[in-house]
Structure 1
Amino acid sequence: MQALVLDGINQVIQLREVSTPQPGPGEVQVQLHAAALNHRDVWIQKGQYAGLKFPIIVGSDGAGIVTALGEGVNEDLRNQEVLINPGHNWGDKPAAQGRDFAILGLPHDGTFAEYVCVPAHYVQPKPAHLSFEQAAALPLGGVTAYRAMFTRAALQAGERVLINGIGGGVALLALQMALVAGAEVWVTSGSEDKIEKAVAIGAKGGISYKTEKWAAALSKQAGGGFDVIVDSAGGPGFGDLLDAAAPGARIVFYGATNGDVPNVALRKVFWKQLSLLGSTMGTEQDFKEMVRFVEQHQLVPVIDQTFPLAEGEKALRRMDDSLQCGKLILSIKN
């Protein structure tokens, strides 16, 4: 089969002929029609991720058709259109993943290929209203957004939500999910174009986080502070989120793109009775509930651009430069 193979840190990802994987006991082989990029793929390429091994076929998100079954797998799965849950071996504690938790695409070969094999219980029926490209955009970003917004922050209808740094796949899915859940959503970005696109989707408004004292300005514009704040940046700007938070707010963060948070004003946390919530991916139950939620509300992930598999390196560079507004997709089989 053809696959995009990464041979080492800071190496160009290359399209190559490799052996087609065959399903072992309890596994299915999925012929991938589409895959989607995540920042994780860029970080692996740059060597900024734990447990690196090379060569590796990266890629965590994929959708396709089950083409072969391993021993013990229900025959009903054959020829089914599916999307893949990339979070494996969560463990028996729903509150947090266990030591054996792993994400597809490292340490095991991932979805930037014509075929991939995964345990059968990690595939879910593809929502019928989604194309393969749209379905491929959903798994990692969708479960991350769903767990952050509902399992961790317990979002309620009528609450005011702030999504800090709109434009990435998780942030846009969080926006869409919050809107159909009945929340009022506001956004920040360093790009006015991305703010405008978020407003077109349904956000009430937004502001550039480059604006001086943006938290106070946006809170005034919104008519008050925010009940739920979703962030993936961290870094020095995290303190602004404490200013934007309403009393009793929940701030949930699923990444730290800008690094650790220096000099947190703890007095603001305790005086406002804030909850700071970390979130990573989601349980198998979170994933199933996310897929049902998407089907129930007929949500369609926002796609920025679609590339042929051979142009995977070009897609990675677009993500690395933060040019995308929505998911970047690799079309594998038309």
Structure 2
Amino acid sequence: MFALTATAANPDDPLAGLALGDHPEPSPPPGWETVRVRAAALNHHDVWTLRGVGVDPERFPVVLGCDAAGVTDDGREVIVHAVIATPGGDETLAGDFNILSERYDGTFADRVAVPSRNLVDKPAELGFEQAACLPTAYLTAYRMLFTRGELRPGDRVLIQGAGGGVATAAILLARAAGLHVSVTSRDETKLERARELGAHVGVPAGERLPARVDAVLETVGEATWKHSLRALEPGGVVVVAGATSGFDPPADLARVFYRQLRVIGSTMGTREELVRLVRLLDATGVRPLIDDVLPMEDGREAFSRMVDGELFGKLVLTRPA
């Protein structure tokens, strides 16, 4: 079958390890089944894999991709939950937690094998390209906002780094839930687009907000950390799900304990949260923002755009029906 694989890691030139071509068909063990991929969305996780972050080099070559929507062998249209873990409780806290493309081949292929419990029915109103955006970026944003952040209608949230997949998802979901949304970016064009999506306030990265917020969604890391802490009301929370600018932010511990701030980690989401996310989209009419849709054969172009940051919303790769 056709697939996009990581053949080696290169921290400085991630595309050097990206290969497009034939790969063995999946052989699902008992309790697993295969899905014919119709659409798969690109995430920063895929680039990190090519850089050698979070993956065992002995796993190469491995099929990349966390997100997919497709069709099972019996004709069921499904969304693939990317978290692979022992069932029971919160899968993201399981000792064997991993996501597709880490220990098991991912979704950038004609077919992907996953546990049957990882399949969620795709609503007919949601296209395959839209559905493929949900399992990583949109599920991460959902968990950050509503599970870990515990935000409620009327609360104020700052989303750092407008334009990224999680940030864009968070803007749309937060507005749908009745939150007051502020965003930051170094790019005025991205700020304007964020306002068009529904952000109430858009300011350049690091600039003081008109008013402090109840929560900050942090996926940028070093570059925005001080600003995130300073933007919070006393007792506020920073929900951290990534660090694209670096993993060693200044601690600013005095501010944390004087203002009794909370710093909470968040990773992916559970299958039940994915089901609730799908229901939220169905109830509100919110749809994922897609920057571009490309055939999977153009995967190298998509990865190049991800590395260069030349996107607003999700990049989706498709396979023919």
Contact 2:184 2:202 in 1 (8 A): yes
Deviation of the 1:12 alpha carbon: 4.2
Contact 1:12 1:313 in 2 (8 A): no
| Alignment partners' CA distance in 1, 2:263 and 2:124 | 37
Question: Of 296, 302, 305, which residue of structure 2 is paired with 1:315?
Answer: 302
| Alignment partners' CA distance in 2, 1:163 and 1:35 | 25
Deviation of the 1:194 alpha carbon: 1.1
- Verify: 1:306 aligned to 2:290, yes or no: no
Distance 1:42 1:286, change over 3 A: same
Question: Of 154, 157, 160, which residue of structure 2 is paired with 1:161?
Answer: 157
Task: Classify the secondary structure of the residue corresponding to 2:93.
Answer: coil
Question: Of 38, 45, 51, which residue of structure 1 is paired with 2:43?
Answer: 38
Contact 1:236 1:261 in 2 (8 A): no
| Alignment partners' CA distance in 2, 1:308 and 1:128 | 22
- The residue identity in structure 1 corresponding to 2:35 is V
Equivalent residue, structure 2, for 1:50: 55
| Alignment partners' CA distance in 1, 2:63 and 2:223 | 34
| Alignment partners' CA distance in 1, 2:66 and 2:167 | 17
CA RMSD of aligned residues (A): 1.7
Distance 1:44 1:237, change over 3 A: same
Alignment of 1:2-81 (within 5 A): 2-10=2-10, 11-52=16-57, 53-67=59-73, 78-81=74-77
Deviation of the 1:314 alpha carbon: 1.1
Equivalent residue, structure 2, for 1:133: 129
| Alignment partners' CA distance in 2, 1:91 and 1:190 | 41
Deviation of the 1:308 alpha carbon: 1.1
Q: Could you list the runs of 5+ residues in structure 2 that have no partner in the other structure?
A: 11-15
Equivalent residue, structure 1, for 2:13: none
> For each residue in 1:22-78, what CA deviation from the matched residue of structure 2 results, as whole angstroms up to 9, or x when unmatched?
4332122111111111101111112122323211111000011101xxxxxxxxxx2
| Alignment partners' CA distance in 1, 2:104 and 2:147 | 27
- Verify: 1:296 aligned to 2:283, yes or no: yes
Q: Could you list the runs of 5+ residues in structure 1 that have no partner in the other structure?
A: 68-77
Question: Of 141, 159, 165, which residue of structure 2 is paired with 1:145?
Answer: 141
Question: Of 243, 251, 258, which residue of structure 1 is paired with 2:238?
Answer: 251
| Alignment partners' CA distance in 2, 1:86 and 1:28 | 14
Which moved further from structure 2: 31-40 or 45-54?
45-54
Contact 1:129 1:298 in 2 (8 A): no
Distance 1:90 1:289, change over 3 A: farther
**Identity of counterpart residues, as a percentage?**
39
Task: Classify the secondary structure of the residue corresponding to 2:68.
Answer: strand
Task: Classify the secondary structure of the residue corresponding to 1:313.
Answer: helix
When the two structures are aligned, how many residues end up with a matched partner?
A: 315
> For each residue in 1:179-214, what CA deviation from the matched residue of structure 2 results, as whole angstroms up to 9, or x when unmatched?
0111110100111111111111111121111xxx51
When the two structures are superposed, what TM-score results if normalisation uses the length of structure 1? 0.90
Question: Of 93, 96, 99, which residue of structure 2 is paired with 1:100?
Answer: 96
Task: Classify the secondary structure of the residue corresponding to 1:203.
Answer: coil
Distance 1:63 1:158, change over 3 A: same
Contact 2:6 2:49 in 1 (8 A): no
| Alignment partners' CA distance in 2, 1:172 and 1:299 | 12
When the two structures are superposed, what TM-score results if normalisation uses the length of structure 2? 0.93
Where has structure 1 moved over 6 Å in runs of 4 or more?
Answer: none
